[in-house]
Chains A and B, each alone.
Chain A
């Protein structure tokens, strides 16, 4: 299609403007975390590192970060086991209800978070309470693991389908048993897919607020829950700004790792 120069320029302008709109809010948070004005008037007149120092000292915020890290690691560990096993079953076997397994894995993330949230909260109350287990970090991890399985499952399944079974068959022909093949042939081929899925799973867990609200109970405040609880308190705004800015800065790490992984995957194995 021969677009007129004006049309091309207009489309470019929409792209640049769209990207600007995507990034401006993130920049605003970053700038506000060093805005010296306590009321965060705009445009900022002077800058300070005071809020960052202040936020580092906030015990509640520190505890919330720790809880979030624990929840993310726990949920990712469970999801790695469940997601990889399910992906193996679906990729390497034919059985009745194979499609249903895919659906069961995807459903927790496909349904609105609030539905998953009240369903899990209700189940935890009915099943765990009589056993003496209250809502807390444990239930947060269980809830997060449920919707994190899909990230691992998708990544590992895609990798298993792409690599096929010929390498594993060759390994068996050369005398390796099932476990040796798994350890020396299958696992190395899957490692980067598991890492990519795990990264996504951790990010998903770290960011989650809706399901967490219903499964956390008063004891286990994750970082999003803590931020949300302090969002409407003006005197906590500096700390909230710093944490928000820190989360934006930290989100560069998974982007970088994901890029490394995807560029590594393209090179011949």
Chain B
């Protein structure tokens, strides 16, 4: 009893904990409650607000629009997908969009790999951080401004014509070529940076060993460098491919009358007021991208992101 009295005296000497202290104690004892509080806001926003919206739009793809009233008819049908499949124009546009995304990715690989290699293995190590900033900095310049800059340069009598003129050439003008060119320009840093990171991790000793064993530089490139940076190339391509596939602004700015999937979606939401069809068209890039990500995952590239 004496012992107990001593303890009570100590406890009584302390001031009673305030409500804040009590709430803190409750939170400290109950990790599940902490977790619930942390997750409630983000999940309340993202699950109904975003995932719900996504689900709704894909559901809409199976509905149609009444041609007279413009109202959406809530009746399950595959008519939109049937149209997509049957109309040659949509097949052409879908293939063209995937082709543009693939061409942009290949161009960025062809330019990005030597640039990244020069950054990681040729220039003095002291200069590397500055080069990384130089590649990264233009990403902060607005997308629209960069596309607009190319519109100015590719204009009739613009810089492209001026530069190519002495060689008896002229700029590509606005069209499909210009679209591929500008998209490749826009997404190039997204290719250079992962490849540079991959190459930086590649030990120089491996390259030396390959050379000592008698491999010429091209053989070393093919047998040592490419297999080692392949995951980085794939990681970069996820960006270049996906960003190109959904784009419709660049093509409007420099593409002339070229139509890509994004334009079809945009026109069907706006002018044509046919949301179900727009939703059906929008599933194409999503399905292509999911297939691409599934393939990329098998190379182990997604861990590079």
B161 nearest CB neighbor, chain A only: A42
A: number of interface residues (CB 8 Å): 84
Q: Which of B42, B43, B47, B149 lies at the interface centre, i.e. has the most chain A CB atoms within 10 A of its CB?
A: B42
Is residue A140 contacting chain B, with contact meaning CB distance below 8 A? no
Residues of A with Cβ closer than 8 Å to B? Answer: 1-4, 7-8, 11-12, 14-15, 18-19, 21-26, 28-29, 32, 40-43, 78, 81-83, 85-86, 88-89, 93, 95, 101, 104-105, 107-108, 110-116, 118-123, 126, 142, 145-146, 149, 172, 177-180, 203, 206-207, 209-210, 213-214, 224, 227-228, 231, 240-241, 244, 247-248, 251-252, 254-255, 259
- Contacts A29-B149, A122-B60 given; indicate if A89 touches B122 (C-beta within 8 A): no
CA distance A146 to B44 in the complex (A): 12
When C-beta atoms are compared, the residue in chain B nearest to A210 turns out to be B249
Interface size range of chain B in the complex: 35 or more
* Inter-chain contact A19/B208, CB cutoff 8 Å: no
Residues of B within 8 A of A42 (CB): 157-159, 162
**Is the Cβ of B140 less than 8 Å from the Cβ of A254?**
yes
Whether the pair B39, A3 counts as a contact (CB closer than 8 A) is no
- Contact status B46-A14, CB under 8 Å: no
User: B interface vs A, CB < 8 Å?
Assistant: 20-21, 23-25, 27-28, 31, 34-35, 38-39, 41-43, 45-47, 49-54, 56-57, 60, 111, 114-115, 117-119, 121-123, 131, 133-138, 140-146, 148-153, 157-159, 162, 185, 188-189, 204, 207-208, 210-211, 217, 220, 242, 245-249, 253, 262, 265-266, 269, 275, 278-279, 282, 285-286, 289
Q: Is the CB of A114 within 8 A of B53?
A: no
Taken together as a complex, chains A and B put the C-alpha atoms of A252 and B139 apart, in Å, by 11
Q: Choose among A43, A78, A122, A228 the residue that contacts B144 (Cβ–Cβ < 8 A).
A: A228
Q: A14 — which chain B residues lie within 8 A by C-beta?
A: 111, 114-115, 118
Residues of B within 8 A of A15 (CB): 114-115, 118-119, 122-123, 131
Contact of A178 with B28 at beta-carbon distance under 8 Å, contacts A15-B115, A209-B249, A227-B148 already known:
yes
- How many Å from the CB of A105 to the closest CB on chain B? 7
Instruction: Count A-B contacts at CB 8 Å.
Output: 245
> What are 20 pairs between A and B in contact, CB < 8 Å?
A42-B159, A82-B45, A85-B39, A93-B34, A105-B42, A112-B247, A113-B246, A114-B285, A116-B50, A146-B46, A149-B42, A179-B23, A209-B143, A210-B246, A214-B269, A227-B145, A248-B142, A251-B137, A251-B140, A252-B140
Contact A114–B248 (Cβ < 8 Å):
yes
Cβ–Cβ contact B27 & A29, under 8 A:
no
Q: Are A1 and B217 in contact (CB under 8 A)?
A: yes
What's the Cα separation between A110 and B292 when bound, in Å? Answer: 12
Contact across chains for A110 and B242 when beta carbons are under 8 A apart: yes
CA A40 to CA B269, docked complex, whole Å: 35
Q: Is the CB of A104 within 8 A of B28?
A: no
